[in-house]
Each structure stands twice: as structure tokens, then as C-alpha cells.
Amino acid sequence: MAARSSIVHRRSAPWIVRLISSGLACLALSDMPLQAADGDWQQKPYHYVAIDQDVRNALLEFGRNLRIPVKLGEEVKGRLRAMPANGDAKAFLERMAQAHGLIWYFDGTTLHVDGQSAIQTELVALDGTSPTQLDQMLRRLGVADSRFPLRSGGARGIISVSGPPAYRNLVREALNKLKGGSDMAAASRPAATPAEAAAKVRVFRGGPQDGS
């Protein structure tokens, strides 16, 4: 009978710890907004105690406690052993990533977590958009990340984009928006009259004018 009681105790312990940790997290998050719209959640206190828990479940619970959607890649796996209970949300996430070979990226709405192998490098054609314009747009949107800088390639009009899939996709979407804006601006300009076109040609060429 004693052996049987010991087994039941070990099995129930993680459940009890998770229940207590959820309660502590709820207390710490009582003053949070219903939906995190930016990266402010990273500095929020996150008190979470785990002894033996599936990594995927711990990350999904992390998202529920902070009220942000979490998307996990297939390579996110393993068991979460004893973790420090104190610190902010970013510190907890960094410890998780370091211990289990993960990389995370927040796109302003969703927290994406993948294995380190998901980080890849792509060469992207700018098609007339400058690297500065693209970088400024990412910063305005609040989705730029110093861990994944944009790098100008050796060829003109090419940039190197390194990072997890969610980041690379977002860079391509931002670039397409910039390209679309340029195309729309060009299309919205009224067609020049023959006289205006002729005047523009003379000014562009800068040829001497005949005064006679």
C-alpha cells in the first residue's frame, strides 16, 4: 500500500504545481490589458514554477497567461525541468529557448517559437525599394528585431534576410507593400499632355535653347 501511495503522489505533484503556478500567474497579470498589441508583455513579471512539464504545454500556457497567441513549430519538443520562478516574461522565454534549442519571434500579434534549425537566410530583390525604406517600415510597424538585421548583398538591389520563417515572411510582405505603394503612386499620376511631355523632354536633356 505504501508503494502505491508513493506513485500516486509523484504523478499528482506536477498537476498540483501547475495549478499553483497558474494561480500565481493570474495574480501577477491582473492589471494586464485583454490583448497585448505590442512587445510590452516582455517586461511583465512572470512567476511560473515547473518541475516536469512538456515544453509545448508550458509555452502554450505562457501565451494564455500573457494573453497572446502562440504558434509552435514542429521541432518544439522536450521536457521542462526545474526553472527559476522569478523574473519577467522575456527572461523566462529566453531560458526556455536556451535550454531547448529554440528561437522565438513576436510579430506584433503572435508569438512564434521554432527550433534553431528554422533560421535560414534568403536573398531578396528590392525591385527599386531601398534597404533604408524597408528597415524604416519594419520599425514603424514595431516588428524589427535587432537579432535579425537586414544586410545589403554584394549585388545592387539585393538584401540578405536571416531569421525564422515568421520574420522572413513578414519582411517579404512589408517589401511587397512598399512595392505596391510605389506602383499605385505611379499609376495614379495623370498622363502628361503632349505639350507637358515635350517640355519634360527638353528639361531632362538640358539642351541649349535656340533664341531665334
- Average of per-residue pLDDT across 152-169: 87
Predicted pLDDT at 205: 32
Tell me the sheet residues that pair with 76: none
Q: Which one is predicted more confidently, 62 or 82?
A: 62
Q: Distance of CA 162 to CAs 14, 169, 172, Å?
A: 38, 11, 12
Predicted pLDDT at 51: 79
Confidence check: pLDDT of 48 > 90: no
Question: Where is average pLDDT lowest: 7-11, 64-68, 100-104?
Answer: 7-11
Q: Which one is predicted more confidently, 190 or 149?
A: 149
Q: Which one is predicted more confidently, 180 or 177?
A: 177
- Average of per-residue pLDDT across 178-195: 52
Predicted pLDDT at 152: 84
Please report the sign of the dihedral spanned by the C-alpha atoms of residue 202, residue 205, residue 210, residue 211: positive
Instruction: Indicate whether this model's pTM tops 0.75.
Output: no
The domains located in the chain, with CATH, are 53-116 (3.55.50.30), 119-188 (3.30.1370.120)
Confidence check: pLDDT of 164 > 90: yes
